[in-house]
């Protein structure tokens, strides 16, 4: 029994999910109502409906907004102010009367100057500030935003490729599960035929009851295998639906077939990965951002020069005609001489972040090299296994035919017959697993080199 259970290929599905799928009822009409998809259709739908990809696109929208924020630093700032003042402060009251144009000779009275009483003012003003030079912070801010937008673009592309690869793998998971179910059903038919043949021989007295019992045990085992395979199809279908981002049942119309041979040179694959991988390009952009952030921190030591202007009306009530208007124009130069060593600390912090980004980029480069090499040899091994498994299936089928004839003529034992059946079952599983690994291996090689469905978004 243990050998029989080990014939089914492993699946990357949690045992809990399988248990739940077994417990939940499966309507007979669900399979027929499933939306049948080609791989291309599944990938197209994923680009429209995947919540992971939708979330990544929000990062790009945020980066676009940040770029607009950075551009606004060059623009003038216009502010409207309405201020109300009520005071008996002598200096303020004196100034209010002057601003309102209501100061008279009587105002020079010593008693009035010292005790002006309650004085009220409504100040309506427009204040204008035009940045001219602030240590280059406007320019650096815009450059950082531009690089941040480029990094977000690469991040979206990286997420898109990852999502499409996940959908591709889920698609072939379902295709494999259906193929395994087909093999299991074929195996059940073979086991039923063998059991029927052995039962006929037992009734004819040409074999012993133990042979019949062994055949019945084998038949029960393969039927159990078919039940598990059926459950795996249901779980794989749900996994594909959620990978795409759909709420309706889906099914695949493409089976597992060998892909087109696309030989890649390992060195060129490594070069392509470092040039095209969006996650590597994103980290390179993050390094450029960190370098400019260091320059931005250093700009605090540079002088600032800005133009300011204001136009105001002061009166006893808002925009009242009994007041007076005035204006002011200023050119302001400021230099940061000392602020408690905060600027120096900010520079050190920016440099630390820059070094961190540089090390992360170096680590990603090493990670990419490992992934490319691993994918390269995994695909090569899958193609070699596929060639071997094709021959093995043909040999196992011929072996079963020969053993069945030998058993019928009394020249082979029932154990030989059941073993031949088991060998054929295993050979078919190995061929399907090799086909699956070849398809996934091809997709993974495209993913790790940054070429997976490139330009398809």
pLDDT value of position 50? 95
Q: Where residue 67 falls among pLDDT bands split at 50, 70, 90? A: very high
CA dihedral angle for residue 222, residue 225, residue 230, residue 236, rounded to 10 degrees: -150
pLDDT value of position 395? 93
Q: Where residue 8 falls among pLDDT bands split at 50, 70, 90? A: very low
Pair type for strands 35-37 and 250-252: parallel
**For residue 263, what is the enclosing H or E element?**
none
Q: Residue 28 has which token pair?
A: 């007979």
C-beta of residue 116 within 8 angstroms of C-beta of residue 93? yes
Pair type for strands 304-315 and 119-134: antiparallel
The mean per-residue pLDDT over the stretch 112-137 comes to 92
C-beta of residue 156 within 8 angstroms of C-beta of residue 45? no
Q: Where residue 19 falls among pLDDT bands split at 50, 70, 90? A: very low
What percent of the chain is modeled with pLDDT above 70? 91
* pTM of the entire predicted model: 0.80
Rounded Cα distance, 23 and 402, in Å: 42
pLDDT value of position 105? 83
Which range (6-15, 110-119, 210-219) has the least confidence? 6-15
Statement: residue 321 has pLDDT above 60: yes
Q: Where residue 155 falls among pLDDT bands split at 50, 70, 90? A: very high
CA angle 67, 161, 158 (to 5 degrees): 35
Statement: residue 16 has pLDDT above 50: no
The mean per-residue pLDDT over the stretch 89-94 comes to 92
What are the φ/ψ torsions at residue 261 (nearest 5 degrees)? -75, 115
Tell me which residue of 441, 166, 170, 163 sits closest to 278, measured CA to CA: 163
**For residue 129, what is the enclosing H or E element?**
strand 119-134
The mean per-residue pLDDT over the stretch 218-223 comes to 90
Quick count: other Cβ atoms within 10 Å of Cβ 233? Answer: 22
Q: Where residue 238 falls among pLDDT bands split at 50, 70, 90? A: very high
Rounded Cα distance, 243 and 43, in Å: 10
Residues across the chain: 457
Statement: residue 259 has pLDDT above 80: no
Rounded Cα distance, 456 and 168, in Å: 14
C-beta of residue 192 within 8 angstroms of C-beta of residue 219? yes
Rounded Cα distance, 225 and 233, in Å: 13
**For residue 381, what is the enclosing H or E element?**
helix 342-408
CA dihedral angle for residue 259, residue 261, residue 266, residue 271, rounded to 10 degrees: -80
Q: Residue 134 has which token pair?
A: 């602030």
What percent of the chain is modeled with pLDDT above 90? 65
Which range (46-55, 73-82, 155-164, 253-262) has the least confidence? 253-262
Q: What pairs with residue 123 in β-bridges?
A: 83, 314
Quick count: other Cβ atoms within 10 Å of Cβ 255? Answer: 13
pLDDT greater at residue 212 or residue 448? 448
C-beta of residue 184 within 8 angstroms of C-beta of residue 229? yes
C-beta of residue 78 within 8 angstroms of C-beta of residue 195? no
pLDDT value of position 453? 84
Rounded Cα distance, 391 and 395, in Å: 6
The strand order across the sheet containing 77-87 reads 77-87, 119-134, 304-315, 324-334
């Amino acid at each position: 029994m243990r050998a029989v259970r080990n014939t089914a290929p492993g699946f990357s599905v949690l045992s809990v999910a399988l248990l739940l799928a077994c417990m939940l009822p499966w309507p007979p009409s669900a399979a027929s109502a499933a939306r049948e998809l080609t791989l291309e259709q599944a990938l197209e739908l994923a680009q429209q409906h995947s919540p992971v990809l939708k979330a990544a696109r929000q990062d790009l929208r945020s980066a676009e907004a940040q770029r607009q924020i950075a551009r606004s630093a060059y623009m003038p700032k216009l502010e409207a102010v309405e201020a109300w003042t009520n005071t008996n402060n002598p200096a303020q009251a004196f100034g209010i009367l002057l601003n309102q144009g209501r100061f008279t000779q009587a105002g020079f009275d010593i008693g009035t100057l010292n005790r002006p009483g309650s004085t009220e003012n409504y100040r309506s003003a427009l204040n204008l500030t035009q940045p001219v030079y602030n240590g280059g912070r406007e320019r650096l801010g815009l450059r950082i935003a531009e690089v941040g937008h480029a990094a977000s673009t690469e991040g979206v592309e990286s997420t898109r490729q990852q999502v499409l690869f996940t959908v591709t793998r889920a698609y072939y998971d379902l295709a494999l599960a259906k193929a395994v179910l087909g093999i299991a059903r074929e195996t059940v038919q073979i086991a039923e035929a063998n059991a029927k043949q052995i039962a006929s021989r037992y009734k004819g007295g040409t074999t012993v009851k133990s042979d019949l019992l062994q055949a019945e045990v084998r038949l029960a085992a393969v039927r159990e295998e078919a039940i598990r395979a059926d459950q795996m199809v249901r779980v794989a279908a749900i996994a594909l639906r959620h990978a795409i981002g759909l709420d309706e049942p889906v099914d695949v119309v493409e089976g597992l077939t060998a892909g087109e041979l696309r030989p890649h040179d390992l060195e060129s694959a490594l070069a392509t990965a470092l040039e095209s991988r969006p996650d590597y390009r994103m980290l390179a952009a993050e390094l450029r951002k960190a370098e400019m952030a260091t320059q931005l921190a250093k700009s605090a030591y540079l002088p600032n020069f800005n133009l300011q202007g204001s136009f105001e009306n002061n009166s006893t009530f808002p925009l009242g005609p009994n007041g007076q208007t005035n204006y002011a124009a200023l050119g302001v130069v400021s230099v940061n001489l000392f602020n408690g060593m905060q600027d120096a600390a900010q520079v050190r912090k920016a440099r630390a972040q820059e070094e961190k980004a540089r090390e992360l980029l170096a680590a990603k480069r090493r990670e990419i090299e490992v992934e490319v090499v691993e994918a390269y040899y995994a695909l090569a091994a899958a193609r070699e296994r596929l060639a071997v498994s094709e021959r093995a299936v043909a040999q196992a089928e011929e072996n079963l035919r020969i053993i069945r004839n030998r058993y019928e003529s009394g020249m082979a034992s029932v154990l030989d017959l059941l073993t031949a059946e088991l060998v054929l079952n295993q050979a078919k599983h190995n061929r399907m697993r090799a086909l699956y690994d070849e398809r996934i291996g091809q997709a993974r090689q495209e993913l790790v080199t940054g070429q997976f469905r490139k330009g398809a978004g």
